[in-house]
Structure 1
Amino acid sequence: MSTPDDAVAVFRDIESELTGSNGPFAVVDAVVGGETMRVYRDTPASFDDVFTSLVNEHPDEVLLVEDGAAYTYRQVGDQAGVIAASLARRVGVRDGDRVGIAMKNRVEFIVALVAIGRCGGVAVLFNSREAEVEIAAAVSDAECVAILADGPRAARIRARDRSTPIVVVDDDRIDEPVYRYADLAAGRDSTASRPAPEADAPSWILFTSGTSGRSKGVVLTHRNVCTLVVSLRLFTETGVVTNARKYGMEPDAIRGLMPRLSALLVFPLFHTSGLVALMTTMFTGGVVVIMPRWDVRLAIDLIEQHRLAMLAGPPMVIVDVLNEASPVERIGSLINVAAAGQTTPPDLVAKLSRVLPAAGRGVGWGMTETTASVSTAGGDVLAAHPDTSGSASPVMEVRAVDASGHVVSGSGVVGELQVRGPQVMAGYLNRPEETAAVFDGSWYRTGDLGYVDDRGLIYVVDRVKDIVITGGENVYCAEVEYVLLASEQFTEVAVFGAIDERLGERVVAAVTVVDGVELSADDVRDIVRASLAAYKAPADVVFGFGPLPRNATGKVLKRALRDRYAASDET
């Protein structure tokens, strides 16, 4: 019987074989941004190249299902070519131009993502859940030459931006300048794959929460995106070879036994988690069933109807499905369930094992600034080390640094986790000072506290950043505090996170109102919702804490607040 150490050793041996000089995922040294680092020798040139190869491999397989309609790889690729040509010839998109996408999950989102790259543009993925003020600020930062948007997002953008051309994918009436997606899709011309772009030129820009309520654009290069593609494929192949050796079979025989992957797309595509879920499924020629918004009963219906094999989402999604599925056979087709986007509560892991004992489980750690996952773990490694976030991919380095700036190592020796490698972002859009604060051109400061043990396994234990991750969405406490204090109705405000069985964490606001002002909890939430996305509004509002606890320098002691709140919540 293998020991926990054996599981890691076997994983390392197989990974080394696959990434050796003669392996299919060979790793070599290269200079990136003036820094020598490890890269994959055969990294694709662009996401469009990756998608084109998938179309050639699986032309007539179904890629997307939405509202009962099915779309093959060839159909999606063909439409992307037509949209790319129309963007270039009718809208005027040129190499390096930024083109926005602002819509809920839908087929047109994925077509647009491919098309923008194919016509030489940089895809800017706006958070479709943001409030009008937030999305307007992001649009202003991005300076797009055009934005493809659904009706609700187009209306929000046009309310504050009268000049950026919008390509509307619905029939909604939007003030000029406007194009109709249907008209662009009806074009007769098509753009084929382009020459390879510069590896370190921008490919995608995704937005992440900022401390003042203004999102930051994370600039990801072609190298960033395509390195992620190879890392995801390597993780899958490592699992195949591991199982082949375990059962005394050839890897090709294991692949032949693997079903065509089918997945429910729950994460929004403007998040790296959504893009990873999409790509992971596409690599196998699999099918993705699109949900425009979360509805647990619809999700279970879709899992049962399509016999879906994979479900990935924030912990709240997994909790909802496990609680609602009755009988459990309705979700019995699931063989891979991943709670991602934030720390998975131990109770959820235990329940998942009870309800779906045959389902595999995977974990990972990363963020938008590192092009999603830095580390992954699954199979025997995760079974032996259930608290780990996995080991870093072969091209990424991770270290822990203490408060004095010294590198620390060893099990339980905690420091801020820093990351280096070809998946680290180019920087924040138009934010040189904020970029410099976290990225020195070599190492990126993640804001997560953790350690790397002697086996190279990463453990995340806390956060440096004052941030709440609720339902898979990041909420900076400072941005909520900023909005509440700006209303001039409070003398003190402190926002923090509390453990929540469904959401992972929930946002809590402890407030002291100005004398003579009367506010309810709903009033406080409304103040936040007027300026920020609804999910950033506090789930709980506490009025009776009195003067907030502070240290000698006047800083609010959030840990003391969390402890006091937890104690009051239990009584």
Structure 2
Amino acid sequence: MSNKPWLSQYPEEIPASIPYAPIPVQSYLAEAAAKYPEKTAIHFLGKEMKYKEVHEAALKLANYLKSLGIKKGDRVAIMLPNTPQSVISYYGILFAGGIVVQTNPLYMERELEYQMNDAGAKVIITMDILYPRVMKVKESTSLEHIVVTAIKDYLPFPRNVVYPFMQKRQYGIVVDVKHSGNNHLLKTILAETEASPIQLEFDFEEDLALLQYTGGTTGFPKGVMLTHKNLVSNASMCDAWLYKCRKGEEVILGILPFFHVYGMTAVMILAIMQGYKMVLLPKFDAETTLKTIQKQKPTLFPGAPTIYIGLLNHPKLKNYDLSSIESCISGSAPLPVEVQENFEKATNGKLVEGYGLTESSPVTHANFLWDKKRVKGSIGVPWPDTDSAILSMEDGKPLPPGEVGEIAVKGPQVMKGYWNRPEETEQILKDGWLLTGDLGYMDEDGYFYVVDRKKDMIIAGGFNIYPREIEEVLYEHESVQEAVVAGVPDAYRGETVKAYIVKKDGAALTEEELNAFARKHLAAYKVPRIYEFREELPKTAVGKILRRALVEEEKKKIKEA
């Protein structure tokens, strides 16, 4: 579809095409453990694990999962923040031949129940404080076993002793799960199971490694089927893009959650593939992150705009030494030019914007970090082995440079399809081309620009939020007659969630009441931040609510303010 004008922009160090070893994702952990057995693989809040320790733990878990009846192709869910356990679980599932189902720890019962049933997951690995939530849905899902772990299990002394008291103060509970029946403690599993090698045949191109759930404008989240080839190729492309990085030497900061595909590929898989040290943080806190950077001296820092903004706005920023940071690729949301420039001044490193989506494992485009021009406001150029084109919204044919249409991508990182949704797969995959739903254009040099989204998806703080799912919840409230949700501009989160509500006649519904209702059924980041009650909502002649008209109204208010 294109003549790939961007290849002429490539520095000589980046190849146009990369050979991919046809081995599954987990094989890279085995290779790293053999090559760097004593090297630190993970640093977590003061505790460190060597590559050989991570590998052994993953094999132990894999053998235990097999003893529970997990066979090749079975789905196993991970509901964990960024911890050593999340890495061990991911690779342990793959060693056992299972398919990982990444689950956001913020999910409430209805979201969790839907995902477990859709994926058909047999086992879930989760935190002790999340155990009660899982138990509430277990009987109404396909889940047979729950593997439980705790933050304190991987904390150094004396923090591991103090942590349960801090947990009780913060969450009001301490969950005590016994290793018996269908409940299993990861700590006990790793203490009592052999790290025996497991021999399984894998089809590099066809076998699934991951079901990564993503939403849509037409219904509930869909499971994106990502193969071993999808993930290995995208991490390999990332390595090629970071051509100045040294195998076995870099230190990568792991704040991006591994339950999102960007953090999983660009941090975890890349780090293990290249023998890097991962410095993990279970959640983003600006001061903790600044202290960690100063002490652990990471060289790579993949992130999202809100993370960089949070650090830049910290009142004590100048008190910390951030000079170790050399390379950052920002994803998940558009990167403001001002943020890019200020962060580069604060670190003396390079920060560039990238682009991708869950369906492409996720990265397809990025700006160059070194030696070549970086175009402000552009998402950069396609990665090696990746083709991209701008298609007409009218007839689907390729458009010339400068004309706006739908961005389409093609490459080895593009998903196999949606789990159990052949019709929706056909709508988005055309002859190997992935239709992104984003509108943009390409300039004469092959740099791409996003101008709008065809979809109504909201990106707030790096999280993908789908209005339809929130609207479904709001409509369940007995006092709501009509509801529409839209993303409105927000200086910090990029966008924030606003709900427009028409109350039923005579209803005395308040913002506080509706907000409390939403919080019972939605993860915190999906809950509307703003509510506006109206007598009526703008609609088309056939009664469809005009969401876009409301968004334009908000933009006009900001412009006139």
Deviating more after overlay: 277-286 vs 337-346: 277-286
Question: Hey, what's the Cα distance between the residues in 2 that align with 1:526 and 1:431?
Answer: 34
**How many residue pairs align between the two structures?**
525
Structure 1 equivalent of residue 237 of structure 2: 231
Question: Hey, what's the Cα distance between the residues in 2 that align with 1:502 and 1:150?
Answer: 30
Note if 1:146 corresponds to 2:123.
yes
- 1:490 to partner: Cα distance: 2.4
User: Runs of 5+ in structure 1 lacking a partner?
Assistant: 1-5, 20-26, 28-39, 241-253
Q: Is the 8 A contact 1:213 1:532 kept in 2?
A: no
Structure 2 equivalent of residue 59 of structure 1: 37
Question: Hey, what's the Cα distance between the residues in 2 that align with 1:228 and 1:327?
Answer: 33
Structure 1 residues 456 and 12, CA gap change in structure 2 (3 angstroms): farther
- 1:136 to partner: Cα distance: 0.9
Pairwise mapping of residues 16-55 of structure 1 onto structure 2 (< 5 A)? 18-19=15-16, 27=17, 40-55=18-33
Structure 1 residues 439 and 501, CA gap change in structure 2 (3 angstroms): same
Structure 1 residues 541 and 398, CA gap change in structure 2 (3 angstroms): same
Structure 1 residues 311 and 328, CA gap change in structure 2 (3 angstroms): farther
Q: Is the 8 A contact 2:330 2:354 kept in 1?
A: no
What are the superposed Cα offsets for residues 283-310 of structure 1, whole Å, 9 maximum, x if unpaired?
A: 4432222111222221112112222333
Question: Hey, what's the Cα distance between the residues in 2 that align with 1:483 and 1:277?
Answer: 34
Structure 1 residues 115 and 190, CA gap change in structure 2 (3 angstroms): same
Structure 1 residues 422 and 82, CA gap change in structure 2 (3 angstroms): same
Question: Hey, what's the Cα distance between the residues in 2 that align with 1:279 and 1:134?
Answer: 27
> Quick one: which amino acid aligns to residue 76 of structure 2?
V
- 1:318 to partner: Cα distance: 0.9
Structure 1 residues 543 and 566, CA gap change in structure 2 (3 angstroms): farther
Q: State the identity as a percent.
A: 26
Structure 2 equivalent of residue 345 of structure 1: 336
Note if 1:157 corresponds to 2:157.
no
Note if 1:422 corresponds to 2:412.
yes
Residue from 274, 294, 303 that aligns with 2:284: 294
Q: Is the 8 A contact 2:515 2:528 kept in 1?
A: yes
Question: Hey, what's the Cα distance between the residues in 2 that align with 1:313 and 1:131?
Answer: 25
Question: Hey, what's the Cα distance between the residues in 1 that align with 2:471 and 2:33?
Answer: 48
Residue from 244, 263, 268 that aligns with 2:257: 268
Question: Hey, what's the Cα distance between the residues in 2 that align with 1:426 and 1:191?
Answer: 31
Pairwise mapping of residues 372-451 of structure 1 onto structure 2 (< 5 A)? 372-380=362-370, 383-440=373-430, 442-451=432-441
Structure 2 equivalent of residue 516 of structure 1: 506
Pairwise mapping of residues 446-525 of structure 1 onto structure 2 (< 5 A)? 446-525=436-515
> Quick one: which amino acid aligns to residue 495 of structure 1?
V
What are the superposed Cα offsets for residues 368-398 of structure 1, whole Å, 9 maximum, x if unpaired?
A: 1111101122235774412221222232221
Question: Hey, what's the Cα distance between the residues in 2 that align with 1:287 and 1:365?
Answer: 25
- 1:551 to partner: Cα distance: 3.0
Question: Hey, what's the Cα distance between the residues in 1 that align with 2:537 and 2:477?
Answer: 19
Structure 1 residues 436 and 464, CA gap change in structure 2 (3 angstroms): same
- 1:269 to partner: Cα distance: 0.7
Structure 1 residues 378 and 329, CA gap change in structure 2 (3 angstroms): farther
- 1:211 to partner: Cα distance: 4.2
User: Runs of 5+ in structure 2 lacking a partner?
Assistant: 151-174
Structure 1 residues 192 and 456, CA gap change in structure 2 (3 angstroms): farther
Pairwise mapping of residues 145-224 of structure 1 onto structure 2 (< 5 A)? 145-162=122-139, 164-170=144-150, 172-173=176-177, 176-192=181-197, 194-199=199-204, 200-211=206-217, 214-224=220-230
Q: Is the 8 A contact 1:134 1:214 kept in 2?
A: no
What are the superposed Cα offsets for residues 180-212 of structure 1, whole Å, 9 maximum, x if unpaired?
A: 212211234223263550121111111112447
TM-score normalised according to structure 2 size:
0.87
Structure 1 residues 208 and 153, CA gap change in structure 2 (3 angstroms): farther
What are the superposed Cα offsets for residues 474-517 of structure 1, whole Å, 9 maximum, x if unpaired?
A: 11112212221232422332211122121111111122211222
- 1:14 to partner: Cα distance: 4.3
Question: Hey, what's the Cα distance between the residues in 2 that align with 1:442 and 1:285?
Answer: 32
Q: Is the 8 A contact 1:263 1:281 kept in 2?
A: yes
Structure 2 equivalent of residue 555 of structure 1: 544
Counterpart of 2:320 in 1: which secondary structure?
helix
What are the superposed Cα offsets for residues 26-53 of structure 1, whole Å, 9 maximum, x if unpaired?
A: x4xxxxxxxxxxxx44334111112222
> Quick one: which amino acid aligns to residue 169 of structure 1?
T
Question: Hey, what's the Cα distance between the residues in 2 that align with 1:552 and 1:232?
Answer: 48
Let me know the Cα RMSD of the aligned residues.
2.5
Question: Hey, what's the Cα distance between the residues in 1 that align with 2:7 and 2:236?
Answer: 21
Structure 1 residues 107 and 81, CA gap change in structure 2 (3 angstroms): same
Note if 1:311 corresponds to 2:301.
yes
Question: Hey, what's the Cα distance between the residues in 1 that align with 2:230 and 2:373?
Answer: 30
Counterpart of 2:52 in 1: which secondary structure?
helix
Structure 1 residues 271 and 298, CA gap change in structure 2 (3 angstroms): same
Residue from 76, 79, 92 that aligns with 1:99: 76
Counterpart of 1:71 in 2: which secondary structure?
strand
Structure 1 residues 351 and 269, CA gap change in structure 2 (3 angstroms): same
Residue from 126, 149, 154 that aligns with 2:103: 126
> Quick one: which amino acid aligns to residue 335 of structure 2?
T
- 1:550 to partner: Cα distance: 2.5
Question: Hey, what's the Cα distance between the residues in 2 that align with 1:381 and 1:519?
Answer: 58
Question: Hey, what's the Cα distance between the residues in 1 that align with 2:461 and 2:9?
Answer: 35
Q: Is the 8 A contact 2:75 2:120 kept in 1?
A: yes
> Quick one: which amino acid aligns to residue 41 of structure 2?
L
> Quick one: which amino acid aligns to residue 265 of structure 1?
G
> Quick one: which amino acid aligns to residue 172 of structure 1?
D
Question: Hey, what's the Cα distance between the residues in 2 that align with 1:156 and 1:431?
Answer: 28
Q: Is the 8 A contact 2:6 2:381 kept in 1?
A: no
Question: Hey, what's the Cα distance between the residues in 1 that align with 2:466 and 2:398?
Answer: 28
- 1:332 to partner: Cα distance: 2.2
Q: Is the 8 A contact 1:409 1:453 kept in 2?
A: no
Counterpart of 2:238 in 1: which secondary structure?
helix
What are the superposed Cα offsets for residues 100-120 of structure 1, whole Å, 9 maximum, x if unpaired?
A: 111122111101111111121
Q: Is the 8 A contact 1:52 1:193 kept in 2?
A: no
Q: Is the 8 A contact 2:344 2:350 kept in 1?
A: no
Deviating more after overlay: 101-110 vs 305-314: 305-314
- 1:329 to partner: Cα distance: 4.7
Q: Is the 8 A contact 2:216 2:457 kept in 1?
A: no
Question: Hey, what's the Cα distance between the residues in 1 that align with 2:502 and 2:305?
Answer: 32
What are the superposed Cα offsets for residues 247-290 of structure 1, whole Å, 9 maximum, x if unpaired?
A: xxxxxxx95xx993223211111111111122333444322221
Structure 1 residues 266 and 92, CA gap change in structure 2 (3 angstroms): same
Question: Hey, what's the Cα distance between the residues in 1 that align with 2:293 and 2:315?
Answer: 10
Question: Hey, what's the Cα distance between the residues in 2 that align with 1:327 and 1:313?
Answer: 17
TM-score normalised according to structure 1 size:
0.86
